């Protein structure tokens, strides 16, 4: 029999260190402290960016003003909006990420399905080559591509990004093919076989039976593809320069574009380029992605956990 004192001690110990079913207080505090610290690492740049972007030129010069600006100064956003040529670059960015992504996901699903469902000689080789396309750095293929595009007058045209995507060679295409391959391997074959016995054609089986079953994978991969195309600057600068300007492209020459609009010799000192305006530009650049992410996030993360994007 336990004494009252013993029982009390036990209760304290369970509270502090937990039992089989509950985490103890010590662990909980430790867990939240770490989570908050790491979360801060990711939120700090965003907070910093946002706070700096609403500082007036006076606040920027005032060493007393660190995290709380004396006023909300929206003029930075008005300037960044003009410098980025926002309506135009935003539309360009949306088109240049959504269209190749749709093409890329559609073709990757076809290829992934073909690899998962059919036996044919050379399948191992194709899989190895798909992996190889993931490893080959873009600068090993980009120059001849650029010269060929130039020859056909495609340089600066949206087609220069659409064409590779339509042929399964879009940005990071290997990941998409391999995830679809994995997804179709794990889906049951029975329905498809039954449809085949009923005389359905291969393409019809793919479109009406396999595709609907893989919808979660489609959506997750599409979102990933949009994000990666949106953030891509190496290829877009080479292929689109002179034709289409996406948001990140415009951001990378922000200083130059600013001085074209507001020549430093002409405008007064408060209208010169400062970090507040640059941060406003950066924030406008990631804002569409943030909005998309916060709308989709719950759904997005959960379906990744379900589709098993890890690919084993």
Segment contacting another protein (CB under 8 A): 82-90, 211-219, 256-264, 278-286?
A: 278-286
Q: How far, in whole angstroms, is CA 178 from its chain's centroid?
A: 18
Segment contacting another protein (CB under 8 A): 2-10, 76-84, 110-118, 256-264?
A: 110-118
- Between residues 15 and 167, which has the closer beta carbon with respect to another protein? 167
CB of 31 to another protein, least distance (A): 6
- Between residues 8 and 33, which has the closer beta carbon with respect to another protein? 33
CB of 6 to another protein, least distance (A): 23
CB of 15 to another protein, least distance (A): 17
Euclidean distance between CA atoms 111 and 222, whole angstroms: 16
Residue 301 makes contact with another protein by CB under 8 A:
yes
Euclidean distance between CA atoms 131 and 126, whole angstroms: 9
CB of 293 to another protein, least distance (A): 5
Residue 39 makes contact with another protein by CB under 8 A:
yes
Q: What does the per-residue mask of binding to another protein show for 160-199, with x meaning CB under 8 A?
A: ---xx-xxxx-------x----------------------
Residue 104 makes contact with another protein by CB under 8 A:
no
Q: Which of residues 73-102 bind another protein (CB under 8 A)?
A: none
Q: At what angle do helices 86-117 and 173-186 cross, to 10 degrees?
A: 40
Cα distances (angstroms) measured from residue 283 to each of 67, 71, 116: 17, 19, 42
Evaluate whether 246 touches 88 at the Cβ level (below 8 Å).
Answer: no
CB of 4 to another protein, least distance (A): 29
Q: Which of residues 227-246 bind another protein (CB under 8 A)?
A: 227, 230-234
Q: Which of residues 119-148 bind another protein (CB under 8 A)?
A: 119-121, 123, 126, 129-130, 133-145, 147-148
Euclidean distance between CA atoms 111 and 154, whole angstroms: 26
Euclidean distance between CA atoms 277 and 266, whole angstroms: 18
CB of 13 to another protein, least distance (A): 15
Residue 290: exposure state from Cβ atoms within 10 A (0-12, 13-18, ≥19): exposed
Segment contacting another protein (CB under 8 A): 20-28, 54-62, 70-78, 90-98?
A: 20-28
Euclidean distance between CA atoms 158 and 221, whole angstroms: 22
Q: Which of residues 197-216 bind another protein (CB under 8 A)?
A: 202, 206
Euclidean distance between CA atoms 93 and 230, whole angstroms: 6
Residue 20 makes contact with another protein by CB under 8 A:
yes
Segment contacting another protein (CB under 8 A): 34-42, 70-78, 84-92, 265-273?
A: 34-42
Can you tell me which of 37, 118, 199, 242 binds another protein, judged by CB under 8 A?
Answer: 118
What six digits make up the tokens of 247? 């948001």
Residue 23 makes contact with another protein by CB under 8 A:
yes
What six digits make up the tokens of 72? 């909300």
Evaluate whether 75 touches 59 at the Cβ level (below 8 Å).
Answer: no
CB of 53 to another protein, least distance (A): 11
Q: Please identify which residue in the block is written with the tokens 């009390």.
A: 8
Other CB atoms closer than 10 Å to residue 195's CB: what's the count? 17
Euclidean distance between CA atoms 234 and 285, whole angstroms: 17
Under DSSP, the state recorded for 139 is G
């Amino acid at each position: 029999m336990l004494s009252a004192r013993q029982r009390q001690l036990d209760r304290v110990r369970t509270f502090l260190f937990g039992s089989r079913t509950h985490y103890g207080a010590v662990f909980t505090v430790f867990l939240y402290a770490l989570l908050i610290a790491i979360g801060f690492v990711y939120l700090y740049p965003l907070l910093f960016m946002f706070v700096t972007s609403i500082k007036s030129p006076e606040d920027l010069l005032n060493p007393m003003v660190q995290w709380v600006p004396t006023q909300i100064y929206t003029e930075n956003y008005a300037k960044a909006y003009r410098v980025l040529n926002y309506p135009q670059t935003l539309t360009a960015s949306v088109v240049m990420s959504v269209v190749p992504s749709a093409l890329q996901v559609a073709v990757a699903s076809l290829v992934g399905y073909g690899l998962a469902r059919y036996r044919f000689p050379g399948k191992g080789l194709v899989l190895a080559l798909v992996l190889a396309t993931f490893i080959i750095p873009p600068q090993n293929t980009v120059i001849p591509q650029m010269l060929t595009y130039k020859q056909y007058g495609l340089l600066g045209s949206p087609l220069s990004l659409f064409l590779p995507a339509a042929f399964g060679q879009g940005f990071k295409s290997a990941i998409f093919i391999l995830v679809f391959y994995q997804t179709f391997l794990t889906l049951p074959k029975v329905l498809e076989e039954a449809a085949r016995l009923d005389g359905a054609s291969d393409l019809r089986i793919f479109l009406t039976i396999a595709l609907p079953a893989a919808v979660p994978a489609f959506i997750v991969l599409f979102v990933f593809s949009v994000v990666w195309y949106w953030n891509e600057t190496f290829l877009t600068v080479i292929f689109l320069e002179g034709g289409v300007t996406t948001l990140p492209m415009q951001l990378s020459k922000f200083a130059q574009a600013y001085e074209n609009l507001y020549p430093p010799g002409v405008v007064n000192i408060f209208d010169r380029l400062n970090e507040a305006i640059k941060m406003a530009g950066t924030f406008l650049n990631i804002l569409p992605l943030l909005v998309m992410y916060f709308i989709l996030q719950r759904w997005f993360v959960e379906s990744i956990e379900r589709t098993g994007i890890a690919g084993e």
